[in-house]
């Protein structure tokens, strides 16, 4: 991704590192994703996801979490 579109890659990095408040709209609109998979090491992202009404946690185990991205 970085080689194809550096700005797009940088946006993804910002989201995964928790630098984007309420990232659900960006994930849906910019990345076209309906679900988000994250390992549990991305604590800053998960904190933002918990505060985002567009992201609903649908699965979690000892390794990862999955969020469904809402429409609005």
Domain limits, the chain: 6-69
Cα distance between residue 59 and residue 5, in whole Å = 30
CA-CA-CA-CA torsion sign (49, 19, 41, 69): positive
Cα distance between residue 53 and residue 72, in whole Å = 8
Nearest to 35 by CA among 49, 21, 48: 49
Q: How confident is the model at residue 2 (pLDDT cuts 50, 70, 90)?
A: confident
- For 20-43, the pLDDT digits (tens) are 999 999 999 999 999 999 999 999
- For 33-71, the pLDDT digits (tens) are 999 999 999 999 999 999 999 999 999 999 999 999 998
Distances (CA, A) of 20 to 8, 11, 13: 14, 9, 10
The predicted pLDDT at position 4 comes to 85
């Amino acid at each position: 991704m970085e080689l194809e579109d550096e700005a797009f890659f940088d946006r993804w990095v910002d989201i995964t590192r928790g630098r984007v408040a309420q990232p659900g709209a960006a994930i849906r609109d910019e990345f076209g994703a309906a679900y988000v998979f994250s390992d549990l090491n991305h604590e800053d992202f998960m904190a933002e996801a918990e505060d985002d009404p567009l992201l609903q946690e649908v699965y979690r185990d000892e390794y990862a979490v999955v969020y469904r991205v809402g429409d609005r």
